[in-house]
Amino acid sequence: MEEIVIPTANEALERLLAGNERFIKGTLEHPNHCEESRAGLVQGQAPIAVVLTCADSRVPPVDIFDQGLGDLFVLRVAGNIVNDQILGSIEYAVSHLNSPLVLVMGHTCCGAVSAVAGGARLGGHIASLMPPIDAAVKNVQGQEGNPVDNASMELARNMATKIEESEPIVADLVKEGKVKVASCFYELDSGKVIML
């Protein structure tokens, strides 16, 4: 059996950003999409990164970063909001699968952020998304630029901080230098991922 080599967080990030460059240029490699890759994952997984992003159908991390089966541990929820279930999933990925990088990715034209910023009255369980989004909207009031995109970037940064400080598991691994938590922002029109 082939030994799994786990990259450092910085190596994983470089790999993702290189994949994003291929995505932007339309020179996708679609790595690890073959029968051999699929068969090799039957007994386990070793994703190089955890990506928490919005559930928006226009924001598929595996495609945006030109990765393949088993490369990314993807978590998606409207507004890329962190809750206990998301934190538990991240803890699993970093402590059991040894993923060295956790990346929170906001995006332009986010419907969840736009709704909250526009004062929409959200009912049902949708309302549970509001508090962290509302805090981000308030934090960027008066800033130059697009208010929804500014709030989306602020939200990604806030969620990354929440993950990084999550005790005991993630915070401990961050302090030990085994895990890096970062935030980024995806531009729908250009396809570019910008590190925040």
Give residue 171's domain range.
Answer: 9-195
Q: Is residue 170 part of a domain?
A: yes
Q: Is residue 41 part of a domain?
A: yes
Q: Is residue 2 part of a domain?
A: no
Number of domains in the chain: 1
**189 pLDDT exceeds 60?**
yes
148-186 pLDDT per residue, tens = 999 999 999 999 999 999 999 999 999 999 999 999 999
Question: pLDDT averaged over the chain?
Answer: 95
Q: Is residue 162 part of a domain?
A: yes
How high is the pLDDT of residue 41? 85
**Confidence tier at 2 by pLDDT (50, 70, 90):** low
The residues near 101 (Cβ < 8 Å, ≥ 6 apart) are 9, 12, 13, 16, 48, 49, 50, 179, 180, 181, 182
Q: What is the sign, positive or negative, of the torsion defined by CA atoms of 172, 83, 109, 115?
A: negative
Closest by CA position to 86, among listed 183, 160, 194, 138: 160
For the domain that residue 63 is a member of, what is the CATH number? Answer: 3.40.1050.10
Phi, psi of 104 (to 5 degrees): -100, 125
How high is the pLDDT of residue 3? 64
Q: Is residue 4 part of a domain?
A: no
Q: Is residue 3 part of a domain?
A: no
Closest by CA position to 140, among listed 112, 119, 113, 162: 113
